[in-house]
Amino acid sequence: MSSLTGAVSPRAAAPDDAIRPTWASVDLAAIEHNVEEVSRAVAPAGVLGVVKADAYGHGAVPVARAMDRAGIAGFCVSLVEEGIELRQAGIRKPIVVLGGVYGRLGSSEPSGAHRGVIEHELSPVVFDLAQVRAFAAAGGSLGRSPVDVHLKVDTGMGRLGVRVSELDPFLDALDQLGGVRVAGLMTHLASADCEDDRQSAGQLAVFDDVLARVLSRGHEPDVVHAANSAAALRYPDARFDLVRAGLALYGIAPVGAPRATTAGLRPAMGLRTEVAALRTIAEGEPVGYAATFVARRRTRVATIPLGYADGCSRSLGNRGVALVAGALVPFCGNVSMDMAALDVTDVSHVAVGDEVVLLGAQQGPAGSGRIRAEDVAARWGTIPYEVLTSVSRRVPRVYLRSET
């Protein structure tokens, strides 16, 4: 990998170019509002906005700009490419690359990824000496030594990070090598959104010891951070200098977070389409692949142009719901790649072209309702993170600035 500046992402259809009436709305005013809500809740700690995975499906560049306007302290991404995308869009605040993968794994030779991190002034997270050596070499070749890095320590997640038992030898080798500076110290809590607090409390105790050991070795990190949205809102002791907020900034209350800190959050994403076709089937007739739905009565079926390739999981077949005319209606039959079917028998006056809401609120002649990401996740058997990030890039994003 010689350079990442030419990496491109697939182009999603712009709203004006979209042929089918299916789109995701993103309320940027809600994003800004949520930044302000979380910032108040965790002050004096600063907030890093997590915009990895295309800002959880909301669109990284527009969302980062909205967060920037709201006073976010900086950003977190997972991939170097995601950080470069923000820099090329004019985002100047700190960007931490959480994923810790830069070029050829296990190699101490600097790659285009290492140089790209330095050239675009991104903050790399490191957890092994091969990474440290590669950044030291890349910084030296670019005349930008020492390179500021965030050191990740594994306090119990069991995924990435220097193991606590190996921390002192790691610091010994880092000191001998030179060429990098520990500008940040971090860890990640594995169970902050679980009701049982014991693992989080244990990890924080270990991290306090890690911080003391790092300071005693003469390192002076500018920032220390450990908390995601759930930990930031639940555990004041986890806030340190910065928190890494993701889910809460998109308007979803983390599991276990106090109601007082989440009541004001506003969901930012909606997912909408329209009725593409209507038909009435007789009792005993099937709908969809594998005939998993068979009508038990004379049934009115609405076909919608949205399927599992758009983020409407196949798991929602015969389990999901949508809003039509303000009423909740059930999915009938398996969800297809590009289409799904709804049972609208009990809703009067449904017509081709009527709005269908898969995520968000709707008012209509049959009433009013709201479908939250949490609701979809429960029916799907997953978590809200997956619901949001599964809305594919072929679904156009329409950016709104609603103030309510």
Centroid of chain to Cα 128: 26
Structure tokens, 328 = 């909740």
DSSP assignment of 248-307 equals: GGGT-PPTT--HHHHTT----EEEEEE--EEEEE-TT-EESGGG-EE-SS-EEEEEES--
Q: How far is CA 323 from the centre of its chain?
A: 25
pLDDT at 135: 94
What does the pLDDT look like over 286-307, one tens digit per residue?
999 999 999 999 999 999 999 9
Under 8 Å CB-to-CB from 2, ≥6 apart: which residues? 111, 112
So what's the pLDDT on residue 289? 96
HSE (side-chain half, CA atoms, 13 Å) at 126: 31
Residue 214: count of CB within 10 angstroms of its CB: 19
pLDDT of residue 171: 96
Which run of H or E residues covers position 66? helix 60-69
The residue type found at 163 is: R
Place of tokens 């002791």: 237
Full set of structural domains in the chain with CATH: 28-250 (3.20.20.10), 269-371 (2.40.37.10)
Q: So what's the pLDDT on residue 106?
A: 77
Minimum mean pLDDT range among 145-154, 232-241, 253-262: 253-262
Whether 363 has a pLDDT exceeding 80, the answer reads yes
Q: What is the DSSP letter of 190?
A: S
- Over the stretch 125-170, which tens digit does the pLDDT of each residue have? 999 999 999 999 999 999 999 999 999 999 999 999 999 999 999 9
- List active site positions: 52, 289
pTM above 0.85, yes or no: yes
Residue 204: which pLDDT band, with cuts at 50, 70 and 90? very high
Confidence grade of residue 256 (pLDDT, cut at 50, 70, 90)? confident
Task: Say how many CA atoms lie within 13 Å of 362 toward its Cβ.
Answer: 26
Binning pLDDT at 50, 70 and 90, where does residue 17 land? low
pLDDT of residue 66 exceeding 90, the answer is yes
